[in-house]
Structure 1
Amino acid sequence: YPKEGSNLCCKKCQPGYRLKEHCSENKETVCEPCKPNTYLESWNYAHNCLPCKKCNPRKNLKEIRTCTSTQNAVCVCKENTFCTMGYNAPECASCQPYRACGPGHGVSVQGKVCCSHCLNAHPALRCL
C-alpha cells in the first residue's frame, strides 16, 4: 500500500494480523496478531482488528462457525425458529419460534407466523 505523505510502498499485514507500525525507508511494515475475540479476514493495513460476532441464544441463534483470528463467527437460527432480522443466507441476526396454529387453522405462508382458517384453504395451506 502507498504510505501517505511519502513515495514508499509498504507491505500489507496478512489475515489475522493488524498493522502495528508502518514501513519506513529502513524497515518493513510491522504487524501483530489480532487479540482473542477479534479478527481480520483479508490482507490489510488496519490499525484495529474487528470484534467477533456473538450468537445470542436469547435471539434464538446458534453458532455454526467459531470466530478465529482470520474469520468471523456465523450465527444461524436454532431449530424450529425462523429468521426475522439480518438474513444473509445462511446467517441471521435474530430469530423467532414458529407459532403453532390452532385446530382448524394452518400456516398460510411458510416461515411466517400467519395462520389461516382451513375452510378458506388453498392447496399450499398445511392444516392441523
Structure 2
Amino acid sequence: MNYTGNNNENQRRKEVLKLMRKEIVKKSKTDFQTILKETEINRYYFGLKYITTSNKTICETLNITPEAGTRYKAKLEENQNLVTSIDKFQCPYTKEYVHFLSTNPLEFERLLKSKTNQFKMF
C-alpha cells in the first residue's frame, strides 16, 4: 500500500501548526514555552486573541484536547469573552468548513456579520 498521501497530509498539518505557533508568538511577543506553562483555558483564550481559527486548529496548536477546547469555548462564550463566526470558513488544519472562533474584541463585529447574500422574506 502507498501511504505517501497520508504522509503529505501529516506534513501539511505540521506546517499549519508551526505557522500558527509562529503567528501567536510574533503577535503576543511571548515565547511558546511560556505560553505552554499557562493553564489550558488560559492558553485557549490567549491563542484565540491572536489568531482567529477553528477549535481543532487552536487546540492542536496549543496542545489542548479538542474536547477540552469545546468546554473552554462554552465557558468563554457564556462570559462573553469569545465569539463564534456566523459564516463557516475552511479550517486550516482539517480543511473542513467550520465556524471560526476569536477572543479578540476587535474581531467580534467582523465574525458576527454574514457575508452570504440571503433574501429577507419579510
Structure 2 length-normalised TM = 0.23
Higher helix residue share: 2
Greater Rg over alpha carbons, structure: 1
Q: Considering Cα pairs closer than 8 Å and 6+ residues apart, tell me whether 1 or 2 has the greater RCO.
A: 2
The TM-score normalised by the length of structure 1 is: 0.22
